[in-house]
Amino acid sequence: MSFPLLTATAVLPAIGAIATAAVPAAKRTAAKWLALLFSLATLASAIAVLVRFDPDGDRYQLTESHAWIADFGVRYELGVDGIAVALIALTALLIPFIVLAGWNDADPLETGSKRWRPTQGFFALILAVEAMVILSFEATDVFLFYIFFEAMLIPMYFLIGGFGDRAHEHGEEKAATQRSYAAVKFLLYNLAGGLIMLAAVIGLYVVAGNFSLTEIAEARADGSLDMATNTERWLFLGFFFAFAVKAPLWPLHTWLPNAMQESTAPVAVLITAVVDKVGTFAMLRFCLGLFPEASTWATPAILVLAVISIIYGALLAVGQRDIKRLIAYASISHFGFIVMGIFAMTSQGQSGATLYMVNHGISTAVLMLIAGFLISRRGSRLIADFGGVQKVAPVLAGTFLIGGLATLSLPGLAPFVSEFLVLVGTFTRYPVIGVIATFGIVLAALYTLVLYQRTMTGPVKPEVSAMPDLRVREIAVVAPLVVLLVFLGVYPKPVTDVVNPAVEHTMSDVQKKDPQPEVEAAK
């Protein structure tokens, strides 16, 4: 028997979560180092998955399959394609930086606090989320996927509600109320999506007789499974609704700004750079893979929702007073691009969407973590409370600028390539949608540059005159991510080589081919 590498990659952070939570309350520093160690071990395991994966091999590789709930046809069934491998690598890469960035975020406010081990709990919950996200990317049994898709809501709820941002203009009591509101809103929205998906999962079992993604695909191919058109469309809508909430796609997005605003910066990165990617990933794997006809049928409506998300998110980002809310609305706009690329039904669009998931995760991590360092120094999230920071903290301001330029997809930085591919892929099949979506780029330049101008340039405000520059730990967090932004902006081939064969399989699922150019190339 081969070593169960996929299981090991998910189990490592789960063990780390248990071990970190078990550290005595007085050993907070030991808990932090233990969490960092397990996150690095998970990264090493994810690299092993990446090394062993053959992009030109079988569609699902490193597969594992064991009987679980035999009476209902549920199996512990894992397998990865190129898209899943890329997102597992992104998740495993970001968690160590999230741990380092949140090194002091969960320490007790008062000496000798008798509260329930806040530091250990904080890092244990982060590792628990990592384990569930990785299993969601690996699961090829629909019911197994659903379990972890929903289970990750529990640790996220406590991270948002129990370990929120301490920089609050209305004091601790008001802050606790707003954190609780944001956590409950996050939970209710995602639970509602999950319950609708559960009904669709049960419906899929009634129709197909099992939950295995591979077996259902084989049954479709040999003609032994033929879903009625209306049945397939209803099941598709049940799955898509849950994924659109998680993504988040307009108009199901309203939980995200509250959640990111009230979370610590590392948890905000965990939400938008890691957890939300499960929604867009699942659209590719389950919506298009299980319901090809319904996916084609729903494409026009979904593209309209995607382009509304792009413009709406960017417009609201322009008008924000809170730094974190601005980044949250910018992310809603970016997720619109990702969904648009997925449902453009072209290889360029879907490759760009997958690459966008990776690049958005890195660029958002840089921008949000730097914003977190900035906010912790000033004690405020309001843009108006800053000014002239580049004169007193030039390294902080410089890295903030790089994160902002990546957010507006400046050529030479990673998000540009993915956004370009999404727009090209969309324009070749839906030119009107592609043209409207380009206005999102203009608005991104507006909200990013205005944010930088108002916080970093101009006269130095007295409140920031003594602001320290980035410390060694903080530089260690952002410097590798900045390097990666530049590297993937210049040379994205390592990622595209992994994801392109998987995109070809997805295009085959929906029986789509790229539109042919109307003008033949010169001979």
90-135 tens-digit pLDDT: 999 999 999 998 888 777 655 444 444 478 888 999 999 999 999 9
pLDDT-derived band at 37, boundaries 50, 70, 90: very high
- Taking the CA atoms of 223, 229, 231 and 232 in sequence, report the sign of the dihedral they define: positive
What is the pLDDT, as a whole number, of residue 165? 66
pLDDT-derived band at 388, boundaries 50, 70, 90: confident
- Res. 384: pLDDT tops 90: no
- Segment of 31-45, 212-226, 259-273 carrying the highest mean pLDDT: 31-45
Q: Which token pair is 394? A: 């030039």
- Taking the CA atoms of 483, 485, 491 and 496 in sequence, report the sign of the dihedral they define: positive
What is the pLDDT, as a whole number, of residue 115? 45
What is the pLDDT, as a whole number, of residue 443? 92
pLDDT-derived band at 481, boundaries 50, 70, 90: very high
The rounded percent of the chain whose pLDDT value lies above 70 is 94
Q: DSSP string covering 44-69, please?
A: HHHHHHHHH--TTS-SSEEEEEEEEE
Q: What is the CA radius of gyration of the chain?
A: 22
Angstrom distance (rounded) from CA 229 to CA 244 = 22
What is the pLDDT, as a whole number, of residue 345? 87
Angstrom distance (rounded) from CA 336 to CA 440 = 10
Mean pLDDT (whole number) for 335-359: 92
pLDDT-derived band at 461, boundaries 50, 70, 90: confident
Mean pLDDT (whole number) for 358-367: 92
What is the pLDDT, as a whole number, of residue 169? 53
What is the pLDDT, as a whole number, of residue 132? 94
Angstrom distance (rounded) from CA 255 to CA 189 = 7
Angstrom distance (rounded) from CA 173 to CA 171 = 6
Average pLDDT, the chain: 87
Q: Residue written as tokens 């299981």?
A: 7
Residue type, 105: D
What is the pLDDT, as a whole number, of residue 522? 58
Q: Residue written as tokens 């910018």?
A: 330
Cβ burial, residue 384 (10 Å; 0-12/13-18/19+): exposed
The rounded percent of the chain whose pLDDT value lies above 90 is 42
Angstrom distance (rounded) from CA 340 to CA 79 = 26
pLDDT per position as a tens digit, 192-231: 988 999 999 999 888 887 888 888 887 777 777 777 888 8
Mean pLDDT (whole number) for 427-442: 90
* H or E stretch at 88: helix 82-101
* H or E stretch at 234: helix 229-246
pLDDT per position as a tens digit, 308-346: 999 999 999 998 888 889 999 999 999 999 999 999 888
Mean pLDDT (whole number) for 81-86: 92
Least confident of 36-40, 168-172, 403-407, 412-416: 168-172
